[in-house]
Amino acid sequence: MTPDSAARREALLEGITLLAARGPVTLPGIAERYRLPMSRAWALVQTLLRRGDLVRAAPVPVPRGRPRTGFIRPAAALSPTEGATP
């Protein structure tokens, strides 16, 4: 892994974590937002699950089909100033 790809991967992980801090995210939603293949999005989510930066949440309803598994950032992982507006 090159330094550029490692930095991009960490930026993606941070972006997903911040997105999940606002509310539940789904695997297809992550893949679409960051224009990633589903397998790549799943690998990133698995990394965040192992680190404890994401946890599984209640299923997220979708217009058609089965509800999607949601992922959120645990409240304990938030810093006191993160997401605060000035």
Residue 80 lies in a domain: no
CATH number of the domain at 30, please. Answer: 1.10.10.10
pLDDT 10s digits, 10-29: 999 999 999 999 999 999 99
Residue 81 lies in a domain: no
Residue 31 lies in a domain: yes
In order, the DSSP letters of the chain are: --HHHHHHHHHHHHHHHHHHHHS-EEHHHHHHHTT--HHHHHHHHHHHHHHTS-EEEEEEP-SSSSPEEEEE--GGGS-TTTT---
Residue 68 lies in a domain: yes
Residue 82 lies in a domain: no
**Domain membership of residue 55 as a residue range:** 3-75
The predicted structure's pLDDT at residue 75 = 79
User: Residue 47 burial (CB < 10 Å; 0-12/13-18/19+)?
Assistant: middle
| pLDDT grade for 76, boundaries at 50, 70 and 90 | low
pLDDT 10s digits, 24-43: 999 999 999 999 999 999 99
Question: Any idea how long the chain is?
Answer: 86
Residue 70 lies in a domain: yes
Over 80: is that where the pLDDT of 74 sits? yes
The pTM of the full predicted model, rounded to 2 decimals, is 0.81
Count: domains in the chain = 1
